Structure 1
Amino acid sequence: MSFVLIDKPRPHVTLITLNRPERMNAMAFDVMVPFREALEEVSADNDTRVVVITGAGRGFCSGADLESSGRIPGIKGLTRTSIARRSMEILDDVILGLRKMHQPVIGAINGPAIGGGFCLSVATDIRLASETAYFRAAGINNGLTASELGISYLLPRAIGSSRAFEIMLSGRDVDAAEAERIGLVSRTVPGEKLLDECFDLAERIIGFSRVGVEVTKRMLWSGLEAGSMHSHMEAEGAAQLYVRLTTQNFEEAIIARREKRVPEYRD
């Protein structure tokens, strides 16, 4: 059985599905290692313009597998401490891999996103949720910290510091309606429509130029880390000039608007 499925449901859209529904797609290494490899493979697929990530069955991802962590590669001869560090690096690579993908990544949050699954969801570029989805920073409930896999960096930037502190320190559930209200997800839709809504959004993005979309994604992520507004604005300006001066996209957009047709971007 493959724990990670890769499909192309529509032209230029790739769907990656965590496929261990009997364990709510928990983050065992038997799942996360091939998932990390799938992210690298799809990022390098130049036919793919947008990526959608979801979970099989009724859950998105339930976080750490409390029954079996699965096989961890490359740990022969290591101490317990070193194994723990290598394990965390694998999971870190998954989160960072989402950010490094050339394509925008849409999270189709079809059910519970708990612990590491919450972190995984927040690491996607855009999130749409089914009405049955909910989010929980579970580490605090298990005697650990709620801070893992970048969530204490990403969540305050997504929803504001006060809400992030409250959600992570209380360990409470955030249902889909609240997630939409506070901006954790872009919108909530009925579960049976979730993937189609994600694919429709993907097709809208695909209608724009590849370089314009990819550079915009880079600038948005860069803005989250910018040391100052001034330095980030300089980076934005350089990116805009790069696209403007090295492509004919702007000219094509103007001509297409004048001719009342869809632009045909070459870059």
Structure 2
Amino acid sequence: MDVKTHERIVIDLQEYGVERGLSFGHYRYNEVKPGLASHQHQGALEICYCMKGQQHYKIDDDLYELNGNDILIVSPDTIHSTGEFPEDKGELFWIQILLCPTYGKLCNLPNQHSEFLINTLLERSEYIFKGAFQLKLILEKLVLQFKKDDSILSRIMVNQLLTELLLETVLLSQKKLKLSPSKKMNTLNSYIIQNLHRIIYVDELAKVVSMSTGYFKAWFKETAGMPPKEYVNRIKIEQAKVDLQNSKSVTKVAFDLGFSTSQYFATTFKKFTGYTPSSFIYSQS
């Protein structure tokens, strides 16, 4: 059964002739939503494509943090959730593929090709790896296809696009993983932490790493998966969670973290946590 709203869609792939497809989903949230409860996908692997913002997954006892342009594959029958975290502000796609060959051919591929794709993806499960721009294009084309009337042509297009998506995912999964953040990001993180008490401007961050402002914005979004302003605000809100437990004055915490008004602070805090500052304080008591 398909579920479609202006923020979220969930598509039953079986209804579009994808024999070993379970579901395809997409959300674009402007504020956090309640977290995902513990669940599992019986006999199906799940690939999560975090395009913007941040998302957390708790798989068994391990916690994974996805930022923009990150991909995570969840093994079949694995219990997972967002842990104590909400579904975050941002954009995320996911697809679930059934493993058992008795369901049919994957995207009409020969069995040998289907098993190769699935087994290669399974080998990269529970690893976070980076995506690429072409994935976004494929995923958006899929969303457009699902908005069209079901037809033989649309089914052919869906299977073709899914094949492209899985191939690109396999290729990206085999690239060497980065073991640590770049030196530039480490420098920026240190600078942000030292200046949390005031407004931090994008042009000054660009100067810290000797880049033009225009180039810095593009580089930062590609590297961190979100714009610099959102990144700074996320760090400030994490600090605010600590400060609100020590100081019950929301206004003081807001001004100590460089927010111009307590109202703007409260709006930002709720956007990234799902709580107002006051309700957060109450939840911690």
Length-normalised TM-score, structure 2: 0.24
Tell me which of the two structures has the higher relative contact order, counting C-alpha pairs closer than 8 angstroms and 6 or more residues apart.
2
Select the structure that is richer in strand: 2
TM-score calculated relative to the size of structure 1: 0.25
Mark the structure with the bigger radius of gyration. Answer: 2
